[in-house]
Structure 1
């Protein structure tokens, strides 16, 4: 059996570092911060750790809402989705995740674009 991406990148501690870095970037961007104004960030960070862990093959089950429903009230446009995805990709790379594993994780994120955008 091959080692999961989750294990290769360093498990929960590494995923938590990536998620913290990711939200630091997102919340520092004036184009995005309003989306998170009324959001309980501790809960959101927990869901994001679960999500990244699950798509990386970790021993975690994602318990967040269905993507279309969870984002419907935000009226997210393509530009903002792409910005958020770029910040996640940068956080993965800058926290030592290999290009191959970044690609695998980001392909899972790309698959969520239409549901997040309500399409």
Structure 2
């Protein structure tokens, strides 16, 4: 029997969309981060984030987002800002009832993006 993916364990697309909505609510409520999203197409960003989380969770999705460095280069994101965004994603996953092991697996994929996103 195939082992169940994290994606299906956490509830599939509906659950991922709920996590992403919660995540962006948290991020946009933070004055330190909200400016990064000024003038951005939030519907497109949400769709990319749903794709990304689905892909790292083993869902039936190929992540088609721009190269991470290229997509974030102009934003000049600091390490502490990256970490803060990560904390909000982790909180959204936990609040959605994702178990610790799956949260860790998703967050390790996110952590791997820190060097290209902060430009190191």
Normalised-by-shorter TM-score class:
over 0.9
Task: Please state how far the C-alpha of 1:78 moved relative to its aligned partner.
Answer: 0.6
User: Hey, what does 2:97 align to over in structure 1?
Assistant: 96
User: Hey, what does 1:56 align to over in structure 2?
Assistant: 57
Residues 72-83 of structure 1: matches in 2 within 5 Å?
Answer: 72-83=73-84
User: Hey, what does 1:22 align to over in structure 2?
Assistant: 23
User: Hey, what does 2:69 align to over in structure 1?
Assistant: 68
**Alignment length (residue pairs):** 119
RMSD over aligned Cα atoms: 0.4
Q: Deviations over 1:60-107 (max 9, x none)?
A: 111110100000000000110000000000000001000000000000
User: Hey, what does 2:48 align to over in structure 1?
Assistant: 47
Normalised to the residue count of structure 1, the TM-score between the two structures is 0.99
Give the Cα–Cα distance (whole angstroms) in 1 for the partners of residues 7 and 36 of structure 2: 28
Give the Cα–Cα distance (whole angstroms) in 1 for the partners of residues 98 and 68 of structure 2: 25
SS at match of 1:32: helix
Task: Please state how far the C-alpha of 1:38 moved relative to its aligned partner.
Answer: 1.9
Give the Cα–Cα distance (whole angstroms) in 2 for the partners of residues 38 and 112 of structure 1: 24
Q: Deviations over 1:27-70 (max 9, x none)?
A: 00000000000210000000000000000000011111010000
User: Hey, what does 2:34 align to over in structure 1?
Assistant: 33
SS at match of 2:77: coil
**Structure 2 gaps, min length 5:** none
